[in-house]
Amino acid sequence: MKQERLGYLDSARGLAAIGVLLVHAINSFSELDLDLLVASNFTKEYLDLGKIFLIIFFLTSGFVIPYSIKGRGPNVLKSFAISRIFRLYPVYWLSAILGFMLYGSFTVKQLLFNLTMFQQFFGIENIIGLYWTLQLELIFYFLIALMFAINKLYDKKFLFLTSVLFLLIALVMAVVRNVMLIKLPLAIPLTLSIMYFSSYYRYLVIERDVLAKKYSNRYLIIYVVLIPIISYYGYNYDFGYGESWEKYTLTYFLGMALFLFVCGIKYSSKLMEYTGKISYSVYVFHPLVILIIQETSFFNSFQGLIKVLFTLVLTILFSHFSYTLIEKPFINVGRNLRNRMVID
C-alpha cells in the first residue's frame, strides 16, 4: 500500500487533541468557576466528550500505525521500534519531568518508572493521568509487530477476526465485572478492537477494497449490537467515576460515527493539519498548562471561559516550540536510522 500523508487524518487528530484539551480544562476550572459548571456537568452526566475524542485518536492510530512497518530484511521490526521510540519518548520525557517538578507529590522512583512509559504494568501511578492511553498504544504496537512477524498484518480476514475477538473479550469482562463487582479495565479490549477495525477499514477508505468493505460492514453491525450490551454489563454499576451504560453507549457510538464521517468527507485544512502534527505535544502538555493556570495568582481574577482560552493558546504555543525543537528533530533522527536498517 502506498504510503502518503493523509491530511484529513492529521486534521482529525488535531481536532481530537483540541477537544480533549477543552474538556479537561472545562472540568478542571469548573470546580471554582461556576460559568463552566453546566458544561462540565453535561460531560460528566450525559456525554463523555473526552472519551469521544480519545476514540478518534485511537482510530487514527489504527488507521496509520500498522502501515508504518515497511521494508524488507531482518531489521524491519527493529527499525519500527526505533522510529516509535524517537517519535514518542523525547517529548514524553520532558512532559514527565515537568510533571514531576510541578506536581511535587511524586517520588524519584515513580519518576523513573514513568520515564519507561511502562509504569502501570508495575502498578506505579502515572505522573499525568492521561498517560494510560499511551500504554494502550504500546500494547497495540507490540501486537501489530507480532502480526507482522507471523505475516498476518495485512491479512484483512485475520484483522477482522481479531477486532471481533477483542469485542467478545470486552463482553466477557463486562459480565464478570457486573457479577463480581470487579473494576476490570474494559477500555483495553474495546480500544484494541476499534484500532484493529481501523487497520482494515483503511483499505476501504483509500483503495475502495471490496473485501475491506465487507469486513468493515460486518464489524460495524457487530459493534452496534455489542456496545450497548457491553456498556450495560460493564458500566451499569458506578464505581465512583460517574459511570452509566447509556453514557458509554452513546460515547462509543458517537466516537465511531465522527471518525467514519471524517474519513467519508476527507475534510482537511492547513491549520488543522498543523494542529494534528503538534497534537502529541498538545496532548501530553495541556494538563501541565492547566495546573500552572490553577496555581498562578495572575489568573485568579479571570472567568473560567477565559482560563480555558488561556489554556488553549498557551498549550498550542508551547507545543509549537516543543514540536519544532524536540519532536520533529528526533523524528528525523529516527527516520534516518530506520532508512539505514531496512530495504524498501
Identify the pLDDT of residue 2: 42
Identify the pLDDT of residue 117: 95
Residue 194 domain flag:
yes
Low-confidence ranges of the chain (pLDDT < 50): 1-3
Residue type at 115 in one-letter notation: L
Give the model confidence (pLDDT) of 148-193 as tens digits. 999 999 999 999 999 999 999 999 999 999 898 888 889 999 999 9
Query: Max alpha carbon distance in the chain (Å)?
Result: 61
Residue 44 structural domain: 7-341
Identify the pLDDT of residue 184: 86
Residue 33 domain flag:
yes
Write down the residue that cell numbers 475534510 correspond to: 267
Identify the pLDDT of residue 1: 41
Give the model confidence (pLDDT) of 25-42 as tens digits. 998 888 777 778 877 777
Identify the pLDDT of residue 278: 95
Residue 65 domain flag:
yes
Residue 121 domain flag:
yes
Distance CA 187, CA 246 (A): 16
Helix axes 49-64, 7-29, angle to 10 degrees: 150
Residue 119 domain flag:
yes
Residue type at 231 in one-letter notation: S
Identify the pLDDT of residue 241: 64
Residue 284 Cα distances to 100, 157, 241, 290, angstroms: 13, 35, 22, 12
Residue 2 domain flag:
no
Residue 1 domain flag:
no
Identify the pLDDT of residue 343: 55
Distance CA 311, CA 291 (A): 10
**pTM for the full predicted model:** 0.91
Number of domain units in the chain:
1
